[in-house]
Structure 1
């Protein structure tokens, strides 16, 4: 089976964004460069963890290698919507991060959901002894992006804005408030 590696080293634009109304949003990572546009779908929690781990990676690179890491920009740098058309190339199953000391860049790799993962998600996994769970996923599509520390910082800030732009949390339980109503567990399922 052939696979595609969508490499942007560096991209003209790399952002996290959403399509749809709050509560029904689909999250995407989108890279643009060299006349190409690649959008990959992922979960909100993956975007949140990616921003968190990128922040940790930049701090570690600064501490260990003395890399100049810019502070968060005071002004919004990129608040534009995703470029259209937003065609999902694949759904992300695994995210990988690395710091390249030679070029002082951050490498982000989004790898497609593998067949074994898809079967588990669908509940169709059988007990094949032929499959090795430690087998490399070299035959899966992937999006690889190489960013400067400044571009990484801009990505982190935008990802956090995108995550926080959803439904407001309930002040009692922290779950998202639904416009149609919210049955808060703190009230044992009853409305006030």
Structure 2
């Protein structure tokens, strides 16, 4: 905790953050600071997710998402669309499916006999888990807005390409296991 605080103070004092990044952190710390400016995205995302209820408003029927109140909803804030239109159950299904991918990746990392394969698989696990936590966390307001896509869900060619290359690496690691009789 002390190292984290010291690192944050050093980053602040050295001027390594741009003004918009500082404003995002300030809005994360105090959402009521600028609800029409920097805090707009997270406020609209919370409204969208909250209006979904248990089963959602219906596919393509969300007032927040179809009314374009949630910016960048196809990439950074895609989880708000699921929360509003598919509700708690649909958003939960996305979490379950991501959890299955992470669980399978953990099994691949555990079962491989080569250290390199274990390290690569563990890196992919950490990458997917962090991106999912950050993306979902920023839509719920528990993480600052960072602009990371949600793996397998967000629109974007380079992100989707990288995710599927990682899945290919996991499959390659899985196939390299020695055959046991």
Query: Same fold by TM-score, threshold 0.5 exceeded?
Result: no
> What TM-score does the superposition give when structure 1 sets the normalisation length?
0.25
Greater share of strand residues, 1 or 2?
1
> What TM-score does the superposition give when structure 2 sets the normalisation length?
0.26
Greater share of helix residues, 1 or 2?
2
RCO higher in 1 or 2 (8 Å CA, sep ≥ 6)? Answer: 1
